[in-house]
Amino acid sequence: MASYFSCSIGEEQQFRVALQNGGMTAELVRTVGNDAALGRCMVEALKARLQTGSEPDHSPITHVISLDSTISLENAIAAGKYDWVNPIITSERFPDLGQGEVLLVVEVEVILIHLGKHKTGDRISAELDRRGLTPGDIRHLLALGAMHPKLQLQFPIMALGSSWRDPHGTRSFPVLWKDDRGRTLGLRSEKPDLRRSVEDRVLAVRA
């Protein structure tokens, strides 16, 4: 008799046991069951692991970007041609761009660091400091998104150097990622949770 997943009952039972041994709980099952995006993340992670046959490559990735000292947040977002932008991301909440009075374009080396899933913004910042790095901000993130638009299709990219606090005091950081709409510019809460991808990258610059 075949199960819902077109495999034998015994194979499905082995799968359940493997998930349980790996830390899967009833709460996580309910959470994933109510969120198709999380289900896709799980499947993508499994496929990536099976394709490589080993641990994913989490080596730092370096890119060079150009920063324009006079560009506004709105123009920087437009340059990225994102398919969706979180409406909370405005110049009032993120006044980091467009502060220069004289046009100055500089090249900056940015490093994408993989620091794991269950870490808060402060812990990640401390780890970057230990490595001689500082968190990149929304200027670096938007320049990266405009110059390397396909990069965010591989993994989420967060900029911890810029943040917004909601009415409850929880910080959120700008993040480049993807969903069914395509390339997105959104916000990611500092609270570690299941929604944070195991493939998250943190944008950093040399201190």
* pLDDT (tens digit per residue) in 2-22: 455 667 776 777 777 677 766
pTM score: 0.69
- Looking at the structure, tell me whether residues 39 and 65 fall in a common domain: no
Residue 4 in domain? no
Closest CA to 89 of 70, 69, 74: 74
Assigned token pair, 50: 């099976």
**At residue 142, what is the residue type?**
L
Which residues, in sequence order, are CB contacts of 33 under 8 Å at separation 6+? 39
pLDDT tens digit sequence for 61-97: 999 999 988 889 999 999 999 999 999 999 999 987 7
Cβ atoms 83, 184 nearer than 8 A: yes
Euclidean distance between CA atoms 136 and 117, whole angstroms: 18
- Looking at the structure, tell me whether residues 91 and 27 fall in a common domain: no
Regarding predicted confidence, which is higher, 183 or 100? 183
- Looking at the structure, tell me whether residues 85 and 148 fall in a common domain: yes
Residue 100 in domain? yes
pLDDT tens digit sequence for 119-168: 666 778 788 888 999 999 999 999 999 999 999 999 999 999 999 999 98
Domain of 123 in residue numbering reads as 61-206
Residue 197 in domain? yes
The total domain count for the chain is: 2
- Looking at the structure, tell me whether residues 66 and 90 fall in a common domain: yes
For the CA atoms of 69, 154, 188, 145, the dihedral, rounded to the nearest 10 degrees, stands at: 20
- Looking at the structure, tell me whether residues 102 and 163 fall in a common domain: yes
Euclidean distance between CA atoms 113 and 91, whole angstroms: 27
- Looking at the structure, tell me whether residues 35 and 70 fall in a common domain: no
Residue 2 in domain? no
Residue 160 in domain? yes
Strand pairing category for 164-165 and 157-158: unpaired
The DSSP result for 133-149, as a single string, is EEE--HHHHHHHHHH-T
